[in-house]
Amino acid sequence: MAGSLVFPAGVLFSFLLALARVSGVVVFLPLPGLRNTPDTTRVVLALSLTLCLYSSWPAAPAVAPGLVTLTLWMIAEASFGVMLGLLVSVLVESFQLGAQILGLQAGFSYASTVDPGSQADSTVLQVFAQLLASSLFFALGLHREVIALLATSFRTIPPGTFAPNLNMAQAVIGFVATLFSTGLRVAFPVLALLLLVDIALALLGRMQAQLQLLTVAFPAKMLAALGFFALTLWVMPTVAESAFRKSMEAATRILGR
């Protein structure tokens, strides 16, 4: 009778460790409104993904770990999941960074709305960039790659064997570089146009000192920013996919493949 309980206990340990890793990734998934959904919804999502990855779970431990050992393993798995989740979130964070830089220069910092993700006041462009990045995440099929990454991580770094190393530190540093570079790629085309608008208004004000250009500058810059940003939307899928590929390359280095 006691021997028949070994297998279910081993499956339970594998499930708990896999759930800890998946939960760390789910926290950073770019799903609109996920952070404000009830806790039950997020728990169900994490449980569903964990059960869907059942075929990739590691083999049950031969010897049942103690409570302290199991707790340390779960903390390590949650940390590893958070690291992978950060790499996944590079898409939304970089687009928000670019929108923040752009909104400040275009004058949209005076127009705020409620961010559906954090329920805090955010600029209009920042909220739009978040929704755009979340839509591209699913439109480009990147959610499937996240699930495949989780399945691969169970095979290359089985639960209970995670240990930080130099490759992981380099991947995190690369994540920060990708975050800033993608944000600048999103904002720079419009920033260049706004610079030209500022130069044109400055020259016009120099030639015609009696003109009151202060009341014209803000509307002109806002309209120019919106119009040119709309023209650059067709390249955003390419930018988003490039940023996500870089984050997946960093995740691959972490997994040692």
Residues 126-169: tens digit of each pLDDT: 778 888 888 888 888 888 888 888 888 888 887 767 777 777 77
* DSSP codes of every residue in 52-121: HTGGGPPPPPSSPPPHHHHHHHHHHHHHHHHHHHHHHTHHHHHHHHHHHHHHHHHTGGG-EEE-TTTSSE
Q: Residue 2: pLDDT above 50? A: no
For 166-188, the pLDDT digits (tens) are 777 777 777 777 788 888 888 88
pLDDT tens profile 75-113: 888 888 888 888 788 778 888 888 888 877 777 766 665
Question: CA–CA separation, 83 vs 89, rounded Å?
Answer: 10
Per-residue pLDDT, 155? 82
Confidence band of 4 (pLDDT split at 50, 70, 90): very low
| 3 state DSSP class of 197 | helix
Q: What is the pLDDT of residue 211?
A: 67
Dist CA 25 CA 19 (whole Å): 10
- From the list 221, 226, 174, 189, the residue with the least C-alpha distance to 202 is 221
Question: Does the structure show a pLDDT above 50 at 217?
Answer: yes
Q: Are 189 and 232 in contact (CB under 8 A)?
A: yes
How far are the Cα atoms of 96, 126, 159, 202 from residue 131, in angstroms, in the given order? 10, 9, 34, 35
Say what the pLDDT of residue 117 is.
55
In this prediction, residues 19-44 reach a mean pLDDT of: 77
Q: Is 123 helix (H, G, I), strand (E, B) or coil?
A: strand
pLDDT at 204: 77
All residues at 6 or more sequence positions from 214 whose CB lies less than 8 Å from its CB, including other chains: none
pLDDT of residue 243 exceeding 60: yes
pLDDT exceeding 90 applies to what percent of the chain? 0
Residue 1's SS3 state is: coil
pLDDT at 10 over 80: no
CA distances (Å), 128 to each of 82, 86, 201, 226, 235, in order? 25, 21, 28, 12, 16
> Which residue type does 201 have?
L
Cβ distance 137 to 52 under 8 Å? no
